[in-house]
Chain A
Amino acid sequence: MNVVETIEQSVIQTENLQFYYDTHHALKDINLKFEEKKITALIGPSGCGKSTFLRTMNRMNDLIPGVKTEGAIWIGKENIIESSIDPVELRKKVGMVFQHASVFPFSIYGNIAYGPRIHGERNKKVLDEIVEENLRAAALWDEVKDHLDQSATGLSGGQQQRLTIARTLATKPDILLMDEPTSALDPISTAKVEELIQTLKEHYTIIIVTHNMQQAARISDFTAFFLNGEVKEYGQTATIFNNPLNSETKDYIAGKFG
């Protein structure tokens, strides 16, 4: 693995991270540092481990039987793979957005207010503010403000995805993990979500898995190239795309495989 630039100011750092599904060694010795309030793209062919890696960072993999994580993922001063860390608490700080917008079959308002409500916020006025603030942050407020009580399942795919982003923001995370957030969207919706992701980096550290090379090039500051469970190359996006050091990175970006 080549670390092209040393990244200072990192909020997340993995150290010799290993991950196994039963006997399958899915992540091999991952050492990455993610910089605060930047967008890092994880690219690589299907099955290379990039989504698995993303899911180790909020411990979503814990829910799969027979998996094992070794090494360390430091967020601040804590190694979050330790069993003393409560994954439920962790996931409030490390939000996740999925490939398919999984809105709850409730109202638009209900979708956003849900997290804060479950986490104990009962004051209607505060909830109203949370809903507005996060819908604004997700650039959805103007489109839905007049029908907040309507079912969220009636929104378009792109709107649903922005709603799930707003819903994630409402739990006040520091870090946003995005697992191919636009791969199920049309080009116009994709552009809107990309634009949103760019504005979100002012406040959040974002790690995004994408299959779309152009997307990685357009929106990310850093890129990590995964292959067969290893990080082959990691550095500034411009460098990775223009002057990759690794020949496999070069071939992948040129579209020769994957």
Chain B
Amino acid sequence: MSAKRKDQLATAGLYVIVGIIITVLAGLLGFVFVKGVPQLSWQFITSPPQIFKEGGGVGPQLFNSFYLLVLTLIISVPIAIGAGIYLAEYAKDHWIIRCIRVLIEVLSSLPSIVVGLFGFLFFVLYMGWGFSILSGAFALSVFNLPLLVRVIEQSIHNVPKSQREAGWALGFSKWETITTIILPAALPGIVTGIILASGRVFGEAAALIYTAGMSTPIIDFTNWNPLSPTSPLHPFRPAETMAVHIWKINGEGIMPDAAAISDGAAALLIISILFFNFTSRFIGNLLFKKMGAN
């Protein structure tokens, strides 16, 4: 077979593979949207669920998903950036460091149900936080940190050495070089890592069942005092998220329109993830411009 023929075959093969992937993806999204989008309405997005009758919504669950995400990111991103900077810029090639890397890899492939049970034992029981958003946020931080650390370390590592040298040669200290040159240059990669991690937070159910819980108390969306137990911001209240809600009503939903609600919630979850992806890219670009000292 000639080289040209092989080349044609390989190209055709790649197109077929890409075609399969796109078909599967489009089919999946299409299925979810076709079934789910008709269920969406302002009422559905804002009102609380009904247990026995039709017409319930997923308002609190939607809010819980975003609030949990924000809390998780507040906890995990600073730690991950610190660890990423350390591993990429300070860590020497030493057996302890190699062990740490292996441990991070192991941790990143930990099944989420195991993380959930750990969270139950440690945050819910030992720390005494109960089934709460905070327990959920910490469990998800444990779950996400390995991925975040690796992505951030890699994007810091990918900033060319010449940029570091240029910073040093201009009389910047190592820390100034890291904060003013390396981090802005690594920002697109860091944002990608945060988006990947966020997708996992949105979609995670197993790790949350035993930590954030499967119920939402009656919350009052006019009360924004985080210390009040009826406030949506109260960190020690249980908080069922969209993904957990979908899982729950599929298993034990006794409302007559359970299937429709589950379809609608699935579509809404995907839309939320897309929305979050685009906004975080947008914020990332803004931040990049700002840090770029224009």
Chain A contacts to B: CB under 8 angstroms: 58, 60, 63, 65, 88-92, 95-96, 98, 100, 102, 104-107, 109-110, 113-115, 117-119, 149, 164, 167-168, 171
A110 to B170, CA, bound (A): 14
On whether the beta carbons of B292 and A98 are closer than 8 Å, the reply is no
Contact mask for chain B residues 208-221; partner A; CB cutoff 8 A; 1 contact, 0 none: 00000000000000
Residues of B within 8 A of A106 (CB): 184, 292-294
Residues of A within 8 A of B41 (CB): none
Closest chain-A Cβ to B91's Cβ sits at a distance in Å of: 12
* B162 close to A (CB within 8 Å): yes
Residues of B within 8 A of A89 (CB): 171
On whether the beta carbons of B294 and A88 are closer than 8 Å, the reply is no
Closest chain-A Cβ to B185's Cβ sits at a distance in Å of: 6
Interface centre among B168, B184, B185 (most CB of A within 10 A): B168
On whether the beta carbons of B166 and A98 are closer than 8 Å, the reply is yes
Within 8 Å by CB of A167, from B170, B176, B185, lies B170
How big is chain B's contact interface, by range?
20 to 34
Chain B contacts to A: CB under 8 angstroms: 92, 160, 162-163, 165-166, 168-173, 176, 180-181, 184-185, 292-294
Residues of B within 8 A of A114 (CB): 170, 180, 293
Closest chain-A Cβ to B170's Cβ sits at a distance in Å of: 5
Residues of A within 8 A of B162 (CB): 98, 100, 102
A-B residue pair count with CB separations less than 8 angstroms: 70
User: Which residue of chain B has the shortest Cβ distance to A58 in the bound complex?
Assistant: B169
On whether the beta carbons of B166 and A117 are closer than 8 Å, the reply is no
Residues of B within 8 A of A113 (CB): 293
Closest chain-B Cβ to A195's Cβ sits at a distance in Å of: 23
Interface centre among A100, A106, A109 (most CB of B within 10 A): A106
On whether the beta carbons of B169 and A117 are closer than 8 Å, the reply is no
- Lowest 6 CB-CB distances: which A-B pairs, in order? A92-B171, A106-B292, A102-B162, A96-B169, A110-B293, A102-B166
On whether the beta carbons of A102 and B176 are closer than 8 Å, the reply is no
On whether the beta carbons of B180 and A171 are closer than 8 Å, the reply is no
Closest chain-B Cβ to A64's Cβ sits at a distance in Å of: 11
A106 to B180, CA, bound (A): 11
Give 17 A-B pairs besides A110-B293, A115-B170, A164-B166 with Cβ atoms closer than 8 angstroms: A58-B169, A88-B173, A95-B170, A98-B169, A102-B165, A102-B166, A104-B166, A105-B292, A106-B184, A106-B292, A107-B293, A114-B293, A115-B171, A118-B172, A167-B170, A168-B170, A171-B171
Residues of B within 8 A of A107 (CB): 292-294
23 contacts between A and B (CB under 8 A): A60-B169, A63-B168, A91-B169, A92-B171, A98-B162, A102-B160, A102-B162, A102-B163, A102-B165, A102-B166, A104-B184, A104-B185, A105-B185, A105-B292, A106-B292, A106-B293, A106-B294, A110-B292, A117-B293, A118-B180, A119-B171, A167-B170, A171-B171
Within 8 Å by CB of A104, from B169, B176, B181, lies B181
Residues of A within 8 A of B292 (CB): 104-107, 110
Residues of A within 8 A of B166 (CB): 98, 102, 104, 164
Interface centre among B169, B184, B294 (most CB of A within 10 A): B169
Closest chain-B Cβ to A234's Cβ sits at a distance in Å of: 25
User: Which residue of chain B has the shortest Cβ distance to A148 in the bound complex?
Assistant: B294
A101 to B181, CA, bound (A): 15
Check A91/B171 contact, CB under 8 A, given A65-B92, A98-B166, A102-B162: yes
Residues of B within 8 A of A88 (CB): 171-173
Residues of A within 8 A of B176 (CB): 118
Closest chain-B Cβ to A120's Cβ sits at a distance in Å of: 11
User: Which residue of chain A has the shortest Cβ distance to B162 in the bound complex?
Assistant: A102
Closest chain-B Cβ to A121's Cβ sits at a distance in Å of: 12
A171 to B176, CA, bound (A): 15
A90 to B168, CA, bound (A): 10
Interface centre among A90, A115, A118 (most CB of B within 10 A): A118
A118 to B202, CA, bound (A): 39
A88 to B162, CA, bound (A): 17
Interface centre among A63, A104, A109 (most CB of B within 10 A): A104
Closest chain-A Cβ to B102's Cβ sits at a distance in Å of: 23
Check A98/B165 contact, CB under 8 A, given A117-B293, A118-B180: yes
On whether the beta carbons of B163 and A91 are closer than 8 Å, the reply is no
